[in-house]
Structure 1
C-alpha cells in the first residue's frame, strides 16, 4: 500500500482500545505511532479513503449507471429539458460533443484519482 501516515484520528481510535490511562496519553501524543495497533488503524483509514476516491472517480465517469449530473450538463449544452428515451442524457449529444463530454469526465476522474499522491 505504500507509506503509512498516522493522523490524530488514528491515534484516538487506537487509544480507545487501550485501558491504561498512561498508554492512552502516550498514543494520543504520538509516542506509539510505530505500534502495530496505531499502524493498523492508519492503514484501514487510508484504504477507506482510497476506496472512496475510486468510487467518486467512477461516479464521474458514469461507471455503474447514468451520471445524474450529466443530465444537467447536457440540458445546458443542448438547451433541451426533455428526458432521453435511453435514460442517458449523453445520447442527445452529437458525436463530437459526446466525445468532448466523455473526455472531460475522464480527465476529471483522473484528477480525482490522483489526489493525495505526491
Structure 2
C-alpha cells in the first residue's frame, strides 16, 4: 500500500525520482517507484511486479552502462509518453519509446521498446 507521501506525488515527481534512482543503478531502489503489482510490457513479453521491474531495468542498464540519456517526456495527466536516446561505451539507442501509467504516486504500467546498436 502506498504511503501518504508516496500517494501525493505527481507523475512528474515520480518520473524525476525514477531518473535519480536509475542513475544509482540500485535495482531495489528503482523498483520502489513501481506498484507491487506493476505491469511491464516489452517486445519479448509481459513482466509483473517489482521482480519484473528489476529484470527489465537490469537488462536496460546492462545494455547501456554509464549512458548519456536524452529524454523527450510528454505528460498527459497520469500518462507519460517518453521518447529517448542514449549513448554508452557498449552502444547506443536512437529509437527508445516508453509509456508510463501513474496512479497513487507510483508507476503502475510501463511499455518499453528500444533497439541497441
- What range is the shorter-chain TM-score in? under 0.3
Structure of higher CA gyration radius: 1
User: Which is strand-richer, 1 or 2?
Assistant: 2
TM-score by length of 2: 0.23
Q: Which has the higher contact order (CA 8 A, sep 6+)?
A: 2
